[in-house]
């Protein structure tokens, strides 16, 4: 019986979204601009990487072809395979927004049928009654932040005041999100989680997608660092996903990274959540190696987004892509004759783009396996085509409104 693994390279978009203008993202192209920067020397960093973007394994599977189909341009400096060995194309998001839940839910076969709520004001972002309720329910002396902000920047700016006053740092972005940062030792990790659970209930009427606990450690002398104990408190998908269908059929499921949080832990099977791309990829390979026949492994590699996209770090992003590419043959070696592997993304986060937020983009789609015929799959009208293809491959019927390729 076939197995499948789905790998989301968080934020690795490939440009060209037709409705990008509505999001202020006309011209954004995460992969394209990273490749251009590397080809021009703007992706170099001493001791980290240099030269053109080196991703021969992804290129061999058809990544440059997928990007060219999306934008009309191949990846600058990346050797273009004459005969790609995988199935390659790109996906168009039909859900509104450019956020993590929308992208992942649609990939899993459940496009978002409603408009998310957002905190649009750049300063004093949260309604006064919500702030009052958070303070009351959390027995807090107050909150700090209350604005749109980069997480690392707002923690660096407000951490000392947070420790002195006991007030958590609350901030948001263009995503449908309320983020709460607090010091693991001075505020307490479990107390932070409990506060986020209460905030989750408070923002439900506003249709806010996620409340995110952002714990950090450190001192003013050593600097402050976010830890791997982040936890997302999401609303559940509004309809069936591939995870639901597989669980109903009794299939083994393993989810790696923040997949459990994104799907509100609904039918997410064995959840594995190490910290950092390298640890998550190692865990994914180990989980897939022991995955029984008929099983499904769903992986999110978040560092592309959190560590490099939001921080507008082109050399770091390029190095992370190259590291993933180097390790890709380890997965290929684990694939059995009936297996299908799919690599995609949930949105863009162009590190050359103004600001620090996600970008509205197409996403690349690569499919491969020992018995998977290499071919172009073209433009997919919804990310939901991914779930439709995987569910059909696994023999549980077509999940969601997408069309298998």
- The distance of Cα 307 from the centroid of its chain, to the nearest Å, equals 12
Whether the pLDDT of residue 16 is over 90: the answer is no
Cα R_g (the chain), whole angstroms: 21
Cβ-based neighbours of 397, under 8 Å, separated by 6 or more? 245, 391
**Alpha-carbon span 138 to 135, nearest angstrom:** 5
Closest CA to 7 of 374, 368, 361: 368
* % the chain with pLDDT above 90: 94
Q: What is the structure's pLDDT at 162? A: 98
Closest CA to 276 of 315, 334, 319, 320: 320
**Alpha-carbon span 57 to 73, nearest angstrom:** 19
Q: Cβ–Cβ contacts within 10 Å for residue 96, how many? A: 18
> Where do you find CATH 3.30.70.1250 in the chain?
128-233
Six-digit token pair at 186?
A: 């001075």
Q: What is the structure's pLDDT at 111? A: 97
Residue 210: beta bridge partners? 177, 234
Q: What CATH number matches the domain at 128-233, 3.40.50.2300, 3.30.70.1250, 3.30.56.10, 3.20.20.300?
A: 3.30.70.1250
Higher pLDDT, 16 or 340: 340
Per-residue pLDDT tens for 58-101?
Answer: 999 999 999 999 999 999 999 988 899 999 999 999 998 888 99
Q: Taking CA 101 as the corner, what is the angle to CA 20 and CA 296, rounded to the nearest 5 degrees? A: 120
Assign domain 4-113+238-393 to its CATH superfamily.
Alkaline Phosphatase, subunit A (3.40.720.10)
Average pLDDT of the segment spanning 310-325: 97
> Where do you find CATH 3.40.720.10 in the chain?
4-113+238-393
Average pLDDT of the segment spanning 38-44: 98
Taking the C-alpha atoms of 35, 283, 373 and 404 in order, what is their torsion angle to the nearest 10 degrees? -90
Q: What is the structure's pLDDT at 356? A: 86
Average pLDDT of the segment spanning 327-353: 98
Per-residue pLDDT tens for 246-257?
Answer: 999 999 999 999
Higher pLDDT, 80 or 342: 342
Q: What is the structure's pLDDT at 80? A: 87
């Amino acid at each position: 019986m076939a197995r499948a693994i789905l790998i989301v390279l968080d934020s690795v978009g490939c440009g060209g979204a037709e409705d990008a203008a509505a999001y202020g993202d006309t011209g954004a192209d995460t992969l394209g601009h990273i490749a251009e920067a590397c080809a021009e020397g703007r992706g170099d960093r001493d001791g980290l990487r240099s030269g053109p973007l080196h991703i021969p394994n992804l290129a061999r599977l058809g990544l440059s072809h997928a990007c060219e189909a999306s934008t009309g341009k191949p990846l600058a400096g990346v050797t273009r395979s004459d005969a790609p060995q995988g199935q390659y194309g790109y996906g168009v998001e039909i859900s509104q927004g450019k956020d993590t839940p929308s992208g992942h839910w649609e990939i899993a076969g459940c496009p978002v049928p409603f408009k998310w709520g957002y905190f649009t004001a750049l300063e004093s972002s949260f309604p006064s009654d919500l702030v009052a309720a958070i303070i009351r329910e959390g027995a807090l002396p107050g909150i700090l932040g209350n604005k749109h902000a980069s997480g690392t920047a707002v923690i660096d700016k407000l951490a000392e005041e947070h420790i002195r006053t006991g007030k958590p740092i609350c901030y948001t972005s263009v995503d449908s999100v309320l983020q709460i940062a607090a010091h693991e030792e001075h505020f307490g990790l479990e107390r932070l989680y409990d506060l986020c659970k209460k905030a989750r209930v408070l923002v439900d009427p506003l249709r806010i997608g996620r409340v995110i606990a952002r714990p950090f450690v450190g001192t003013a002398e050593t600097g402050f660092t976010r830890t791997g104990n982040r936890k997302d408190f999401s609303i559940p998908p509004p309809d069936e996903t591939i995870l639901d269908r597989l669980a109903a059929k009794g299939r083994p499921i393993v989810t790696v990274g923040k997949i459990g949080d994104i799907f509100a832990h609904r039918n997410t099977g064995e959840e594995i959540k190490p910290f950092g791309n390298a640890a998550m990829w190692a865990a994914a390979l180990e989980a897939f190696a022991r995955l029984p026949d008929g099983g499904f492994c769903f992986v999110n590699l978040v560092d592309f987004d959190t560590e490099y996209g939001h921080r507008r770090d082109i050399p770091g992003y390029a190095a992370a892509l190259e590291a993933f590419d180097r390790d890709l043959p380890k997965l290929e070696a684990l694939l059995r004759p009936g297996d299908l592997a799919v690599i995609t993304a949930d949105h863009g986060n162009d590190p050359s783009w103004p600001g620090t937020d996600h970008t509205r983009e197409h996403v690349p789609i690569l499919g491969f396996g020992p018995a998977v015929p290499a071919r172009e799959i073209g433009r997919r009208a919804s990310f939901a085509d991914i779930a439709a293809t995987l569910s059909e491959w696994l023999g549980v019927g077509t999940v969601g409104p997408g069309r298998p390729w």
